[in-house]
Structure 1
Amino acid sequence: MAFSSLYAAGMQEMFVASSIWKIVISLIVVIAFIPACLWLMKRFQFAQMKLGQSEIKIVNVQSLGTKEKLMLVEVEGERLLIGVTPQSITHLRSFSPKGKSFASMMEEVDRENTPDNKSNGDSL
């Protein structure tokens, strides 16, 4: 009877040890599974972007507030400046593909809107 109780205690210790190893191995598999899934998602997302080549390209985005932004979008070689808010999308200006650079156009608009240009016509 002493032998059977020692045998039962030994079996119980072996069962506990094997349970701990099963838990450790399961944890390692789960931890290794997470980066593998992330890698696969990134790879498939990149493949979808390659296959779904769009004619619309977002060239630049400038945030104006929490939900407002300016977007420079290129469609069929023409660049469009649009304003985006939660309620609407507004076309602000179009740029020809072979025209001036965006920076030079903005400088031109600034020169047009300076107080000197506006006051010259009003003061006379």
Structure 2
Amino acid sequence: MSALSSIWKVVLSLLFVVAFIPACLWLMKRFQFAQMKLGQSAIKIVNVQSLGTKEKLMLVEVEGERLLIGVTSHTITHLKSFPSQATSFASAMDEARQESTAADRRHEDAV
């Protein structure tokens, strides 16, 4: 009878540990969300466009100015600044693309 009692104690302890881990993860996630909500950071990520596995274009708003940045696993590059009234990420991308093609044409004309 004591062997059966010991097995039940082990099984109940194991079930407690298995249930305790997800409960702790859930609580940590809730507290992080509440902390982010209360923090109200001055930096806002407006939109993100993935370009590959480790490359992204990000439209970030800082102190009323929007910045288009390129992010890779090794660098962060400032591409363009916009006033905060920029309508959408797509329009920002179109504008950046137009400037890039214009710069490429100028470079080709110079060569």
Q: Which category describes the TM-score, using the shorter chain as reference length?
A: 0.7 to 0.9
For residues 52-63 of structure 1, the aligned pairs below 5 Å read 52-63=39-50
Secondary structure (helix, strand or coil) at the match of 1:95 reads: strand
Secondary structure (helix, strand or coil) at the match of 2:79 reads: strand
Indicate which of 68, 72, 90 corresponds to 2:55: 68
Larger radius of gyration: 1
Q: How far did residue 107 of structure 1 move?
A: 4.1
Task: Give the TM-score taking structure 1 as reference length.
Answer: 0.67
How far apart, CA to CA, are the structure 1 residues paired with 2:98 and 2:34? 46
For residues 14-53 of structure 1, the aligned pairs below 5 Å read 14-53=1-40
- Over the matched positions of the two proteins, sequence identity in percent amounts to 75
How far apart, CA to CA, are the structure 1 residues paired with 2:68 and 2:26? 35
Indicate which of 61, 75, 92 corresponds to 1:88: 75
Q: 1:108 to 1:15 in 2, by over 3 A?
A: closer
Q: For residues 41-91 of structure 1, give each alpha carbon's deviation from its aligned partner in whole angstroms, at most 9, with x where no partner exists.
A: 111111221232210011111122222211110112211101112332211
Q: How far did residue 35 of structure 1 move?
A: 2.1
Structure 1 residues without counterparts, runs of 5 or longer: 1-13
Question: CA-atom RMSD, angstroms?
Answer: 2.4
Q: For residues 91-121 of structure 1, give each alpha carbon's deviation from its aligned partner in whole angstroms, at most 9, with x where no partner exists.
A: 111111224544345445656748xxx6xxx
How far apart, CA to CA, are the structure 2 residues paired with 1:99 and 1:22? 63
* Matched residue type, 2:72: T
* Matched residue type, 1:43: R
* Matched residue type, 2:47: N
Task: Give the TM-score taking structure 2 as reference length.
Answer: 0.74
* Matched residue type, 2:78: H
Structure 2 residues without counterparts, runs of 5 or longer: none
